[in-house]
Amino acid sequence: VMLHLNPISSVHIHQKPLVFLLNSPLPLVWKLKTERLAPGIRRVFFVSLGSVVQFEKGNFSLSAETEEKLFPEKNEHLLQWAQKEYGAVTSFTELKISRNIYIKVGE
């Protein structure tokens, strides 16, 4: 699955830390395509067991962390866990089948 990350239109370059929970019932390869995300900013990608994140060439991967995690099975429980763990969830998306996911990050 190709994960496209871009800042919202009002933000020229996104310069804040991000945390992503990438959950799938089957192991996946998450391919990251980013635009206008500042280098050197901490970004964490938690993936379901057996999944991996592939980064584009460049220095984005130097400040990104990937960790496999056993997530709660149901989406409601996953959302509750994320809110408890991080205090807030700014976006939650559930897709049944997709090859491309587009996410705008920002304020």
32-61 residue pLDDT tens: 999 999 988 999 999 999 999 998 876 677
CA atoms within 13 A on the CB side of 10: 2
- CA distances in angstroms from 54 to 3, 11, 19, 65, listed in the order given: 10, 25, 16, 11
Answer yes or no: are the C-beta atoms of 17 and 65 closer than 8 Å.
Answer: no
pLDDT of residue 59: 66
pLDDT of residue 56: 82
Answer yes or no: are the C-beta atoms of 14 and 71 closer than 8 Å.
Answer: no
- Any idea where the domains of the chain sit in the sequence? 1-103
Dist. CA 83–CA 51, nearest whole Å: 22
Q: What is the DSSP letter of 55?
A: P
Mean pLDDT of the chain: 91
Query: Mean of the pLDDT values across residues 73-88?
Result: 91
Confidence of residue 77 (pLDDT cuts 50, 70, 90): very high
Secondary structure element (H or E) that encloses residue 66, with its range: strand 64-69
pLDDT of residue 100: 96
pTM of the complete model: 0.90
Query: Mean of the pLDDT values across residues 74-95?
Result: 91
Confidence of residue 73 (pLDDT cuts 50, 70, 90): confident
- The yes-or-no verdict on residue 4 having pLDDT over 90 is yes
